[in-house]
């Protein structure tokens, strides 16, 4: 009895000492350096409208710094090691999160805002729409739409390309995901554009704000998508598109997706198959216009392949130099600048304390400028991704145009497929050059695009 008392007393003292030691340890480990900006809005406006925000912060504070954006205390962590830590500690120290405006507009049932087992099971269902067999079935329609747009652009001769590319990617997404042709000419497109403009804004729900307008358009979009889903459910056989696959999909327990869930998932897929792809394609045509020697190598490869009939998956695999070019496009101007995580358990990284309930942002654009992985990173150089160099394989999570870990972009192969088909058809048929007196500075939110919309003159090969 006496031994038991002294044992527990010493254990109590030990635990108390341990807690005091932990408190003292936390005090000695400081928060990352940085500023939090103005009350309520923090540094949100600079984050949204200054394309060099991250570059300036990194230059002043280094690889890890604190700020306040979208109403949240936020730590930005830059580099392959930071990415690896965050991706491999998903659901342990961090979970995926988005700014409030994005969460609300994507919807509470959207895969993007879910985590844990629900996210895992739903991701498996949605992944069925992007399996190799499904992707191969998309090639003919993707090629057909691309050829139609190229013919139209050649007739136009001079155009502002970015808005046209938005129409193109929206038509491809709607055709292959929900079997709606020429969707860019419908009310669906204008509502979708307004909805996109509210995704990364301050969540102020007033009639004249981008967020308020986007909320109204979200309701209209969901109503239209619901009508499409109900009509398809009444058909005896589903069409060969992503919606058809998802209508047939069942989870491990044999349950199908509900209409409410399908609506949010389809809206997410339309966004993923449109916004970032438009950015990537505009970056490709811009960079090719600025690097005619590289474009000529791409053109030579296309001519040597002698594609006289429809593009096939076998022909696409032979476009090895084009593959290197597209990888460098995604490195040089990644369509997504970074991603967000919420801290669910306080942790320490590289000597700094990251508190619970803070937001962490990992940086894709700045990671792609790490000189130890990408020497002379400011130079556009597809050779980095040649079989001899393989820059994308040198360090885990050093090349992450589609994110990484449990949250890696579900539609990345769809995006790669569309980029390759677009580039092949365009290069095979067109010459293009930038028109003078335009502002090519990149607006970065929600995805990079030239300020003046990319004005070009386009002619037939």
Tell me the CATH number at 138.
Answer: 1.10.630.10
Q: Are 53 and 84 in contact (CB under 8 A)?
A: no
Residue 426 has pLDDT above 50, yes or no: yes
Q: Is residue 448 part of a domain?
A: yes
Distance CA 402, CA 277 (A): 11
Does residue 128 come out as left (phi exceeding 0), alpha (psi in the -120 to 50 range) or beta?
alpha
Average pLDDT score over the chain: 88
Contact 375, 369 (CB under 8 A): no
Q: In what order do the strands lie in the sheet with 158-160?
A: 158-160, 455-460, 430-434
423 and 432 Cβ atoms separated by less than 8 Å: no
Has residue 5 been placed in a domain?
no
Beta-strand relationship, 72-78 and 359-363: parallel
Position with higher pLDDT, 9 vs 72: 72
Looking at the domain assignment, is residue 158 inside a domain?
Answer: yes
Gap between the Cα atoms of 113 and 13, Å rounded: 44
CA separation for the pair 35, 440 (Å, rounded): 30
Residues 175-190 pLDDT 10s: 998 889 999 999 899 9
In this prediction the pTM is 0.88
Residue 290 lies in a domain: yes
Neighbouring residues of 135: CB distance < 8 A, sequence distance ≥ 6 = 313, 413, 414, 417
Find all residues with CB under 8 Å of 154, minimum gap 6, and list them: 429, 430, 458, 459, 460
Within a domain: 31 = no
CA dist 356 and 343 (Å) reads: 5
Q: Residues 451, 441: contact at Cβ < 8 Å?
A: yes
Say how many domains are in the chain: 1
The token pair at 114 is 């879910």
Please give the share of the chain, as a percent, with pLDDT higher than 90: 61
Q: Specify if 16 maps to a domain.
A: no
pLDDT band per the 50, 70, 90 thresholds, residue 236: low
Which is nearest to 372 in space by CA: 388, 386, 384, 387?
Answer: 384
409 in a known ligand binding site: yes
The boundaries of the domain holding residue 233 are 44-460
**Residue 424: HSE in the Cβ half-sphere, 13 Å Cα cutoff:** 30
Query: In this predicted structure, which of 65-74, 80-89, 249-258, 389-398 has the lowest mean pLDDT?
Result: 249-258
pLDDT tens digits, 328-367: 999 999 998 889 999 999 999 999 999 999 999 999 999 9
């Amino acid at each position: 009895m006496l031994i038991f008392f002294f044992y527990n007393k010493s254990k109590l003292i030990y635990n108390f000492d341990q807690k005091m030691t932990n408190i003292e340890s936390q005090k000695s480990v400081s928060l990352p350096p940085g500023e939090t900006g103005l009350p309520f809005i923090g540094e949100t406006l600079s984050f949204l409208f200054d394309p060099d925000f991250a570059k300036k912060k990194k230059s002043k504070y280094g690889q890890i710094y604190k700020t306040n954006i979208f109403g949240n205390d936020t730590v930005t962590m830059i580099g392959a090691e930071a990415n690896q830590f965050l991706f491999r500690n998903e659901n342990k120290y961090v979970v995926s999160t988005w700014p409030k405006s994005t969460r609300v507009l994507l919807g509470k049932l959207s895969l993007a805002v879910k985590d844990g087992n629900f996210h895992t099971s739903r991701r498996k269902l949605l992944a069925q729409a992007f399996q190799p067999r499904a992707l191969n079935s998309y090639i003919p329609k993707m090629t057909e739409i691309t050829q139609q747009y190229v013919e139209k652009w050649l007739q136009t001769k001079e155009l502002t390309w970015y808005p046209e590319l938005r129409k193109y990617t929206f038509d491809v997404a709607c055709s292959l995901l929900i079997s709606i042709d020429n969707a860019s000419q419908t009310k669906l497109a204008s509502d979708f554009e307004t909805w996109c403009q509210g995704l990364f804004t301050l969540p102020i729900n007033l009639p004249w704000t981008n967020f308020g307008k986007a909320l109204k358009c979200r309701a209209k979009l969901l109503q239209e998508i619901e009508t499409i889903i109900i009509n398809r459910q009444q058909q005896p056989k589903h069409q060969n598109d992503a919606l058809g696959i998802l209508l047939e999909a069942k989870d491990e327990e044999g349950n199908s997706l509900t209409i409410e869930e399908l609506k949010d998932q389809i809206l997410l897929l339309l966004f993923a198959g449109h916004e970032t792809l438009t950015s990537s394609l505009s970056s490709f045509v811009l960079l090719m216009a600025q690097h005619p020697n590289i474009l000529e190598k791409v053109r030579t490869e296309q001519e040597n392949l002698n594609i006289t009939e429809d593009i096939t998956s076998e022909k696409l695999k032979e476009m090895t130099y084009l593959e290197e070019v597209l990888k460098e496009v995604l490195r040089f101007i990644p369509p997504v600048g970074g991603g967000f995580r919420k801290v669910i358990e306080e942790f320490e990284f590289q000597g700094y304390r990251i508190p619970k309930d803070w937001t962490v942002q990992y940086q894709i654009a700045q990671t792609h400028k790490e000189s130890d992985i990408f020497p002379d990173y400011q130079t556009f150089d597809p050779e980095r991704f040649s079989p001899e160099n393989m820059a994308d394989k040198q360090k885990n999570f050093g090349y992450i145009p589609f994110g990484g870990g449990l949250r890696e972009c579900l539609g990345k192969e769809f995006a790669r497929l569309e980029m390759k088909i677009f580039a092949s058809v365009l290069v095979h048929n067109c010459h293009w050059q930038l028109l003078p007196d335009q502002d090519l500075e990149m607006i970065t939110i929600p995805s990079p695009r030239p300020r003046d919309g990319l004005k070009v003159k386009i002619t037939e090969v």
